Structure 1
Amino acid sequence: MENPSTIETEVTIVVVPRERFSYTQESLESIYEHTEYPFNLIYVDGGSPSHIKDYLAAQAIEKQFQLIRTESYLCPNHARNMGLRQVNTKYVVFMDNDVVVTSGWLDKLVECAEETGATVVSPLVCQGLPIHTEVHCAGGESGIVVETKDNTPRRKIIEKIYKQGRKVADVSPGLKRLKTGLAEFHCMIVRTEIFQKIGLLDEGLLNTKEHVDLCIQVVENGGEIYLEPDSVVTYVPGPPLESTDLHFYMLRWSDAWELASLQRLRDKWNLTEDEYFKRKYQRLGWRRNRTIISPLTDKLPFGKLFGKVATKILSLMDKVLNNYLTSRYYKANLQTRVSLTSTETVNSSIPSNQLS
């Protein structure tokens, strides 16, 4: 395709770290192989290991995209805002660094936004391997509902994802473009003008429910969200993780970050701390258990009873280690946080514009 820096474009893709770095090459190559619609690319690299850092630096020169590098790990909304501040196009696509796309995916998203006037458009987001076969998100619901119990108003959050876990082959015949209530940051296209109304993304939401927060704000400001199932992408989570992924994964899904995010969501929207929050609190660390601990215990050559004991021991060790890593990160990066211009390295191959 033509060099995106030499043609007029309406779309900037901002890629940010999700939870690991080891799928970087597959994801980036997918974008360039399957995207026919002209685009700018801003890639935010938050503390990737040296081999990924070198790969991205070489690719930025070869493909002429803008690379923003920090030596510390980033929470997703912080990374997205770093990219968003550089965007001067009509649309921005937020994409995680573990997503692969299909041919025509971006054309269909832009087409939907143009024809419907949508503020946000979600593709059909799939999950796992083999790619493009199992649904992760086909739209959904988000919002705030007010109920009265014992003469006391209760503000509750709505969050529902449609068709998760279903086979694409089973549901795709019935899917069509439609107005929906939910899009996820795995991949979404957004009209950049909305940020003039709502400001930048909320960095107090460190690792969860950022998409719900954005969708609620979009609707409250008169915007609409659409699902465009003719655009298909897949996010590919671990396991397995490479050894160089583990530290970032532990921080990204740390108990401290998730607890802070839930409390921020509760306070921001004046939500009642109901069963929704209690369930979330009880499940802190479930991703680490699924992705790190379970693959270890599944390999043990002993019976189920020993496996349960080993899982319990490893889970306790995980809690201690997770707390230590999170505390060390805060001491090293947040208490001494300086301006972005002194902590990031930018390889700028396209024009940029500061968003207010």
Structure 2
Amino acid sequence: MITSEITPQIDPDILEANSSIHPDVTIVVVPRERFQFAQESLESLYEHTSMPFRLVYVDNNSPAKLRQYLAAQSIEKGFQLIRSQHFLSPNQARNLGLAQVQSKYVVFVDNDVIFSPGWLEALVACTEETGATVVGSLVCQYRPLHTIVHCAGGEYMPPDEYAKFIQGEPALPPETGGKWRIQEKTHFQNRKIAEVREHLKRQPTGFVEFHTMLVRREIFDQIGPLDEGFSCTKEYLDFCMLVVRAGGSVYLEPTSVVTFLTHPPAPALHWSDLPYFMVRWSDAWERDSLLHFQQKWDLVDSKYFLKRFKKLGRRRREEMIHPLVERFSFLGTTSRKWLEKRLVALEKQLNRWVSATLGGTASPSQSG
């Protein structure tokens, strides 16, 4: 069984002062894929968030140095720190934090996000002015910060099929082997904000991603907690699909701007991040998530899934294998390809062992 503990003992008066100023917002921070940007992200959160909030931080078995830093910061800043002694999937970590939320809104944040001033106020303004159930920020990628679009909302079905999906009506004939077809499209990805600014408006959208996502907490009374069958990928699609099926709405708020720092090609991994990174992007977790997504929603076995099954392990190759092969640039192209092929085969064997040893699937429980 995976257990977690709330540490350290925080003065109740500090927590009360922090939560009573503005009880409407609780931010839940969870690890995305590594820990190396966690300190920079937390400092950015406090620097660029002027609206009062309560913070619940899920420390997902982080390295010792970061663990000590978070413990000290939780006392200094007065936030609630939950520590898991084992690696959790992102949705497991979010649910652990969600269980502590009593406020009107919960804002899920990944630990590799850098914020711009007013990001939280913009999310809250959107939900209060539109009644949106879910609101996502304009998410950017890379440095310089807040420049290149990663996700400005997106769609996952053609309009006619989406309309049927919302009503629970099959959009495809029985012989296709499923009721709906996923065709995921992320708006303006890899474009400069300056080039598409006129198109970036507050608007309903099919999905937003969990990098920074505001949710009305009451929706969980209808749909239950986040689905922990999604260990690795497509959890944002699943959640947004559940929300609209329950009668809710999803909005993009482009005046809330953040940047996440680990979009490939990302900065080099720290050695201490390798264990979680390998579990987080393991073949087993990714395969299981895709199969769960397909089966849960009765989705056809389309090119969308075939392409993703074929690319299992891509993130590990990008961050672990390719940088290693590049060190042998003095070799010819044929030799480098031979080397990469052998390294990929060895890494896959190692990944099976790592995911079996460190990537347990038991749901977390909490003590403390």
State whether TM-score is above 0.5.
yes
Match of 1:351 in 2: none
The change in CA–CA distance for 1:151 and 1:46 in structure 2 (over 3 A counts) is closer
Could you tell me whether the CA contact under 8 Å between 2:138 and 2:257 is conserved in 1? yes
Within 5 A, what are the aligned runs for 1:1-356? Answer: 4-142=18-156, 146-148=171-173, 154-237=179-262, 238-300=266-328, 301-330=330-359, 333-334=360-361, 340-342=365-367
Q: Name the SS for the 2:337 alignment partner.
A: helix
Could you tell me whether the CA contact under 8 Å between 2:177 and 2:301 is conserved in 1? no
The letter for the 1-side match of 2:57 is Y
Could you tell me whether the CA contact under 8 Å between 1:142 and 1:215 is conserved in 2? no
Structure 1 unaligned regions, length at least 5 = 347-356
Could you tell me whether the CA contact under 8 Å between 1:157 and 1:271 is conserved in 2? yes
Which stretch has the larger CA shift, 306-315 or 190-199? 306-315
Taking only the aligned residue pairs, the percentage that are identical comes to: 50
Could you tell me whether the CA contact under 8 Å between 2:108 and 2:212 is conserved in 1? yes
Over the residues paired in the alignment, what is the CA RMSD in angstroms? 1.8
The change in CA–CA distance for 1:269 and 1:152 in structure 2 (over 3 A counts) is closer
Which stretch has the larger CA shift, 275-284 or 297-306? 297-306
The letter for the 1-side match of 2:252 is L
Match of 1:354 in 2: none
Higher strand proportion:
1
Count of aligned pairs: 338
The change in CA–CA distance for 1:319 and 1:155 in structure 2 (over 3 A counts) is same
Q: Name the SS for the 2:171 alignment partner.
A: strand
Instruction: For residue 14 of structure 1, report the CA deviation from its aligned partner.
Output: 0.3
The change in CA–CA distance for 1:151 and 1:290 in structure 2 (over 3 A counts) is closer
Q: Name the SS for the 2:248 alignment partner.
A: coil
The letter for the 1-side match of 2:204 is K
Deviations 1:63-83 (A, max 9, x none): 000000011111000000000
Could you tell me whether the CA contact under 8 Å between 1:239 and 1:292 is conserved in 2? no
Per the normalisation by structure 1, the TM-score is 0.91
Instruction: For residue 266 of structure 1, report the CA deviation from its aligned partner.
Output: 1.2
Which stretch has the larger CA shift, 238-247 or 55-64? 238-247
The letter for the 2-side match of 1:308 is K
Could you tell me whether the CA contact under 8 Å between 1:159 and 1:212 is conserved in 2? no
